[in-house]
Chain A
Amino acid sequence: MILLWGLKADAPINMVRLELEKAGADVFFLDHRKIFHSDIEYTFSEKTGINCILKVDGITLDLNLINIAYIRPYSFLDYPEMDGKAMDDPMAIKASGFELQLMAWLNASDAMVINKADPSATNNSKPYQLSLIHKAGFKVPETFISNDAGQVKQFLARVGNAVYKSISSVRSIVHEVGSDHLQFIDDVQWCPTLFQKVVDGVNYRVHVIGDELFAVKITSDRLDYRYGHTIMVTEGLPVEIAQKCLRLNEILGLHFSGIDLMRTADDKWCCFEVNASPGYSYFELSSGAPISIALAKFMMAADRS
């Protein structure tokens, strides 16, 4: 059985769900919106072994039946039921307990999970992930993290144009460092800040699903294409780059990923980041790349094996 865990309104979940239903797959959709009314119970003993039961809407699901799961949980703190409620409210404690236990079950399970916690967590530290990307054979942009204004100035003077962005997975808009930013450079003393040499070229987003990949070429009027007028077209990758993408996905322990690449004018390929829970729908709807169909087929094959 295939488990989908997320929101109906979330396009990546919804698009693959439609493809799975169209193909007649055995799917259980666990609506994250119903988290306040969901329960999970785990038992272990030497006699009975490991068992875990999920209950929602009067339905009971034996989680041992799940062969593959695609998960895109959301923050229940943003739901209206939590308005005016603190984190220690009984409703919040139960919801976070449910979420924690289901994640732990999936991490421990023999089922294929897109994606388990540890491979996904490399994205929580960009420099840590960059060190793994580098080991996978990709060039990475010159990156410097510091809380010392003097060292930051030296880095900026050496590399010329640079951007700053978050070190963690907290979403931030990438900005080029300008002269107006330099007057605030002493503020880095309060929090280490990540600076990266600007790499000029053409952006590519590559989605890897198992051993299949979909590359999209992106042109935009903004440095951070997510916030500009952007055009996307599907395009094949050089064999060597495609192999590196597959290898990177494997090294990170991911089944499905979104890899951000830059192709420079002198035909060098640089990797910026790997997203372990890619919002592929944005790229599919903009370029026509059939990612949701491929993802559905991948999950159905895993369910059969």
Chain B
Amino acid sequence: MPATRASNASALILVISNIANEAAASLVDSFPLGAASLITASAFHQSFKGGLDVSDFDSSQIKINGAVVPIAEISGVVTTICSFIPPEFYYIQAADRKYVCAEMNAFFTFFLSQLNCKKINPPSVRSFSGPNLNKIEWIKIASEANIPVWPVNIANSIDTGEGAIGKSKLKFHTCSVIGSNIIGRKPPGTLEHYMFDLQRIFDVPFLTCHFISNRPGKYFLAEMITRPDIIPAANRGAIVNYFS
């Protein structure tokens, strides 16, 4: 059952996700009743109704789950996907799904870009959530910012693993930040420093990174994810706190 807005609610968080992502529904349920709504491609025609005025976006009129929502009352957005994919539009005849999907992605690129509220993460032209850079792109930016990057060898977009330095005694660390807080256990100071540098450089309030360490005190950035990972309960709790 979709959450119903409480009659005294004056702000709304939109959670944009995939209908199969159970963590997205859990995230909505983590907010006070009626404070958040789940928007998916599969239920879009039932949950979202309205019109957007391109030259006067703030006057646009939308209804979410049947309730009128003034644009100014949307106080936050959490987006867990880069874009919609055609199979999500199961209610459209198969031959038209690709087209409808492209149209919906274009619609949401505009809608999310125009909302003037806290966003995890701000959309880009490539993604509903964050810059969604290819590894080759973020390696250049991170290495130029003096953040050590784990060596790679990529052939036709497949990481061959041949670039790795030694394959034994490696330690792996995963860190997530939201706003000015590390989520979960505090990492070593160097990693904390790298995380906040990367968060600033890529302009994303929520960031998850994987690091590899091959000797004490030396950490290499191995992966960077700018879409919020809402599967760990701790991450969902941190997101709710971020918007409160």
* Chain A 104-131 near chain B by CB (<8 Å), digits 1 or 0: 1101100000000110011011111011
Does the CB pair A167–B91 fall under 8 Å?
no
With A and B bound together, what is the CA distance between A101 and B80 in angstroms?
24
Does the CB pair B152–A44 fall under 8 Å?
yes
- Chain A residues within 8 Å of B104, by CB: 191-192
Partner of B102, one of A96, A170, A193: A170
Does B116 make an interface contact (CB < 8 A)?
A: no
With A and B bound together, what is the CA distance between A168 and B100 in angstroms?
10
Does A297 make an interface contact (CB < 8 A)?
A: no
With A and B bound together, what is the CA distance between A221 and B54 in angstroms?
29
The number of residues on chain A lying at the interface, defined by a beta carbon within 8 Å of a beta carbon of chain B, is: 54
Does the CB pair A168–B157 fall under 8 Å?
no
Does the CB pair B45–A189 fall under 8 Å?
yes
The CB with the most chain A CB atoms within 10 A, among B53, B100, B125, B165, is that of: B125
Partner of B103, one of A45, A94, A148, A192: A192
With A and B bound together, what is the CA distance between A169 and B169 in angstroms?
49
Given A44-B139, A168-B102, A168-B103; A145-B54 close (CB under 8 Å)? yes
Given A45-B151, A131-B114, A140-B55; A117-B126 close (CB under 8 Å)? yes
Q: Tell me the smallest distance from the CB of B125 to a CB of chain A, in Å.
A: 4
Q: Which residues of A, 135-181, contact B by the 8 Å Cβ criterion?
A: 140, 142-148, 151-152, 155, 166-170
With A and B bound together, what is the CA distance between A126 and B50 in angstroms?
18
- Chain A residues within 8 Å of B137, by CB: 104, 107-108
* Interface SS, B side: mixed
Does A100 make an interface contact (CB < 8 A)?
A: yes
Binding stretch for chain B, among A35-43, A232-240, A256-264, A282-290: A35-43
Does the CB pair A170–B152 fall under 8 Å?
no
Does the CB pair B50–A151 fall under 8 Å?
yes
- Chain A residues within 8 Å of B172, by CB: none
Does the CB pair A143–B54 fall under 8 Å?
yes
Does the CB pair B51–A145 fall under 8 Å?
yes
Q: 6 A–B contact pairs at CB < 8 A?
A: A100-B157, A117-B126, A130-B54, A147-B45, A147-B49, A148-B51
Enumerate chain A interface residues (CB-CB to B < 8 A): 39-46, 50, 52, 94, 96-98, 100-101, 103-105, 107-108, 117-118, 121-122, 124-128, 130-131, 134, 140, 142-148, 151-152, 155, 166-170, 189-193
Enumerate the 3 nearest inter-chain pairs by beta-carbon distance, A residue then B residue, closest first.
A146-B51, A97-B157, A104-B134
